[in-house]
Structure 1
Amino acid sequence: MYMYMLRTSTNDWARLPTQKTLETPLFQDHLIRSRMDSPSVQFVSDFFIQPRHAVEESKKPIYLPPWDLAMLSVHYIQKGHLFAKPQEAYTQKDFMQSFLDKLKESLALALVHFYLLAGRFKTVKSNDPHFYTICIDCLNSPGARFIQATLDMTVSEILSPVYVPPVIQSFFDHDRVVNHDGHTKSLLSIQVTELVDGVFIGCSFNHVLGDGTSFWNFFNAWSEIFKAREKGSYNNAISRPPVLRRWFPEGCEIPINLPFSDPSEFVFPYEAPVLKERVFHFSAETTARLKTQVNGECETKGKGDEISSFKALTALVWRCIIRASRFPDDQVTSCRMAANNRRRMCPPGLPPDYFGNCITAVTTYTTTGELLGGGLGAAAWLLHVAVAEHDGEKINEWHREWLRKPAIYNLRYFDPYSVMMGSSPRFTKYGPEFGLGKAVALRSGYAHKFDGKVSAYPGWEGGGSVDLEFCLPPETMAALEADNEFMAAVAV
């Protein structure tokens, strides 16, 4: 049994009767609407799902550590899967309704393990003495949001254009929303969009609650529960239970008293510039060749010095984007890579399934002239050294500085002369299947799109292949597509 709630306004929730079965379609005559920026996407239903049963730990406020609080003014994580409809979708009259019901039921079960995702943020503050703290409140929340939508387009029409079509952004809820809005908006929102011959499952996940490791742990666990229920083998356990207890650095007072009096002091909306988005594919053979090339150029001696294939690919991307941007030789440029800190921390690191944010950006600087004149191996070595030096002491230093002067990330101040490599091809992103078979593609929403942002996905065929999603201004994208070094590495 789980609760549905109809959204009536931002802060007004009308509780509906508890549904004991999922046999009757809900809201058939409600909430039919189109998004202004994508009139062809039709919204069918909009309601909320709570955990199947309450967990004792969810009844207390959950306070947030520095890595989580730093995310308050950036966007939700928005990633999703495009599936082809299975054959039974064309022979079973009620296929989609049955599929949606199974998704809802398995989501309610998944939220028992990931109960934070069904909560809301709550701010407690006072002026005398000053006190301003933010926590997760799982008691006074309608739950996670679940949206059903339709779109009169085919899978081919989504994938065949050279550039990612803007309609993809309409496959995700919480468009342009920042994480602090989790005070009044769901921390997790699932949108299921039915296409003519496919289904897109888009997940909007509040970044304050966790990083990419946490996101994909949840997504895979949800699919695991769906699959186990189909087989009749679900026993209330999952293969990788999340570690939900928040980690705080030594010497940190709990809860953290932020040096603010109002959200306007640290929450800033972000509007992306005009960008082209394109996904480039790099085969396993190409990534292996790049690895061999850079290690040969750097004459690395042993395994500890060996430059990885992903750093080699990142070096290629950095050089080619900066060349396409046509910056002067003396312009300082940087490359940022998101580093998972779980195993790097000192004292000993957090468990691999720690559910929360445990990332910082590892940044490498040089000038445009040195980057383009030094060769691919030299660029890869800069990245390699920066990652090697990112150790427990660097992480502790970050926390000491943050506790001395708390800072909230702001997308508006991103370095325009840099490249940011986000996400990771190491995540199990093609694991979620929900009974539909392997997804045909991964796509992302509006969130975190800026000039020079590149997101890494595993290639569909696996084996070391990589897909990179580029976000660049039209003129820079055109120059990149004309770059012989870059296009020679791209798989047709």
Structure 2
Amino acid sequence: MSSSETVKQISECFIKPKYKVHEANQPYYLAPMDLAMLCFHYIQKGLLFIKPSHFNNQEFSVNKHLQSLKESLSLTLVHFYPLAGRLATRINKNQHESLVYVDCNKGDGARFIYATLNMTVSEILSPKEVPVVVQSLFDHDRAINHDGHELPLLSVQVTELVDGVFIGCSMNHAIVDGTSYWHFWKLWSEIHRANNYKQLLVSRLPIHERWFPDGYGPIVQLPFTHPNEFVSRFETDQLKERIFHFSKVSIARIKAKANKESSNTCNNISSFQSLSALVWRSIVRANCLSEDQITSCRIASNNRHRLDPPLLPEYVGNCVTAIVTTTTAGELLGHNLGWAASLLHQSVVNHSDKTVHDFINGWLQSPFVYQPCKMFDPYSVMMGSSPRFDMYGNEFGLGKAVAVRSGYANKFVGKVTAYPGYEGGGSVDLEICLPPNSMRALESDEEFMTAATEYNRYGLIKKVSQRGM
């Protein structure tokens, strides 16, 4: 990476909630699925915008825009007040246990960074593979959630490009999952579009009341007295990252093919299950696995609507588990797409309120912290995030974002991150992480590349930039 491709930090400050929040005076306890996430990385996602020529009927000024982002962030933190605090731990040596929670008044608040990068939007989007410099558009590189004892639970980095602006958020994954993460973005965007406070109408306020099964909560102790007993860190070998685009038409074809080939006569295999089956088979082929090699496809599942009674979408915290489907490479590739999609579909159908409660009750009987370095193998696929998240609906006076990108966090062989396609309408972008040889093999996979389509990045950039002039 040349010096011209180096992100330079210009300034840093800390943002606290605009007003005092009474609830912030009390400890903010973490629920079981939150505590289990302490060794994962922070969530790192961001939006890339074309730099407009004007903002609020005036010539665009980065300094003024930064100030408006800070003011709206301060108001947003009134509603997401735990993110302005830090993690804290109380240790009970006699019982050999500890209580990890959020001290909402600890620390200086959320970090806000302004940086610059002497690259264009086209240079970020044009290469087939995601440039490594994208990882530098986020703070908290390689930080795990347990580091939130010392690091801010939220860090926003605004990077000014030659002709663009990238807003990247690093948020502690023990406080939020993907649903809560993008809820935060939506609220911040709404407050910013309302000029921070004038005529402010917030559509969905977050719900911070913790969820526990009947008879439990709101305090859970971990069976550890020192971080060395459960804290681990993980880094991946060299990976290639590439964004593959699937149009609405292409996904409809994949779904129709999966349902036609499956033994399921109801034709109710979903679009995402069908797409996941295609990706699973293609990555297994690209990795050249032996026929007897065990392989799994994990699909991140939002459990809020699966509970009975369901939790509202505004519930803040981790309410997600992985739906795991397992077979051998030989079985997976020896059958057709419909067979694989049927397996995934049945796993999703079986993931019920009882499944979630059984997991939580088991965890409460014997609490543990996930060890990512032991959870994921190089023979499987993990489908993370969701194309249902309204990522492109978040605007900050810069027009619609032209792309979503992520940082280094939580990536490993076979990690697939799903985003909505820029044009909407049910299109999907998949960010796939593979070793170099496997990525080359995937790019030569006829079944996969027939379904994946390329959109004209240059045309998109030109179109959007002209709109902002």
Q: TM-score, normalised by structure 2?
A: 0.94
Q: Deviations over 1:7-32 (max 9, x none)?
A: xxxxxxxxxxxxxxxxxxxxxxxxxx
Indicate whether 1:96 and 2:59 are aligned: no
SS at 1:288 equivalent:
helix
The equivalences for 1:163-178 within 5 A come to 163-178=129-144
Contact 1:38 1:167 in 2 (8 A): no
Cα offset, 1:127, TM superposition: 1.1
Using a 3 Å threshold, how does the CA distance of structure 1 residues 38 and 144 change in structure 2: closer, same or farther? farther
Within the alignment, does 1:183 sit opposite 2:149 as a pair?
yes
State how 1:56-95 maps to structure 2 within 5 Å: 56-88=22-54, 95=61
**Correspondent of 1:360 among 293, 300, 321:** 321
Offset at residue 159 of structure 1 (A): 0.7
The one-letter code matched in structure 2 to 1:103 is L
Q: Aligned AA for 2:117? A: L
- Give the Å deviation of 1:249: 2.1
1:266 to 230, 254, 260: 230
For 2:429 and 2:125, how far apart are their aligned partners in 1?
14
Contact kept? 1:51, 1:108, Cα under 8 Å: yes
* Aligned residue number for residue 21 of structure 1: none
Q: Deviations over 1:55-76 (max 9, x none)?
A: 1111100111110000000000
- CA distance 1:483–1:113, shift in 2 (3 Å): same
1:310 is paired with a residue whose SS is helix
| Structure 2 match to 1:16 | none
- Tell me how far apart the structure 2 counterparts of residues 94 and 362 of structure 1 sit (CA, whole Å): 46
> Deviation string for 1:244-284 (max 9, x for gaps)?
11112223254211110111111111111110000000000
2:21 aligns to what?
55
Partners of 1:50 and 1:144 within 8 A in 2: yes
Helix, strand or coil: the match of 2:195? helix
The equivalent residue for 1:454 is: 416
SS of alignment partner, residue 337 of structure 2? helix
Q: Secondary structure at the match of 2:304?
A: coil
Question: C-alpha separation between the residues in 2 aligned to 1:270 and 1:299?
Answer: 40
Matches of 1:57 and 1:69, distance apart in 2: 21
Paired letter, 1:454: V
**CA deviation vs aligned residue, 1:71-99 (integer Å, no higher than 9, x gap):** 0000000000000011227x967710000
Name the CA shift for 1:231/1:100 in 2 (closer, same or farther; >3 Å): same
CA distance in 1, matches of 2:408, 2:23: 33
Written as runs of structure 1 = structure 2, the 5 A alignment for 1:73-222 is 73-88=39-54, 95-222=61-188
**1:230 deviation in Å?**
6.7
Could you say what secondary structure the match of 1:229 adopts? Answer: coil
* TM-aligned CA deviation for residue 415 of structure 1: 2.2
Q: Distance in 2 between matches of 1:327 and 1:344?
A: 34
Deviations 1:22-44 (A, max 9, x none): xxxxxxxxxxxxx9999721111
> Which residue matches 2:359?
398
Is the CA contact 2:190–2:202 (under 8 Å) kept in the aligned structure 1?
Answer: yes
CA contact (8 A) 2:53 2:60 kept: no
- Contact (CA 8 Å) 2:77, 2:84: kept in 1 or not? yes
Among residues 255, 279, 284, which one is paired with 2:248 in the alignment? 284
Provide the identity percentage: 56
- Is the 8 Å Cα contact of residues 4 and 118 (structure 2) preserved in structure 1? no
Looking at structure 2, the residues matched to 73 and 420 of structure 1 have their Cα atoms a distance apart, in angstroms, of: 17
Q: Does 1:293 align with 2:257?
A: yes
Unmatched runs of 5 consecutive residues or more in structure 2:
455-469
Asked whether the equivalents of residues 38 and 170 of structure 1 are also in contact (C-alpha less than 8 Å), the reply is no
Kindly indicate whether structure 1 or structure 2 has the higher relative contact order, using CA contacts under 8 Å at least 6 residues apart. Answer: 2
- Range that drifts further, 251-260 or 56-65: 251-260
Which residue is 1:341 aligned to? 303
Structure 2 counterpart of 1:440: 402
Structure 1: segments with no counterpart, 5+ residues: 1-34
CA distance in structure 1 between the aligned counterparts of 2:2 and 2:394, rounded to whole angstroms: 30
| Cα RMSD, aligned residues only | 1.7
TM-score (norm 1): 0.89
> Aligned residue for 1:350?
311
Amino acid at match of 2:203: S
Q: 1:32 corresponds to which residue?
A: none
Counterpart Cα distance in 1 of 2:142 and 2:84: 20
When the two structures are aligned, how many residues end up with a matched partner? 452
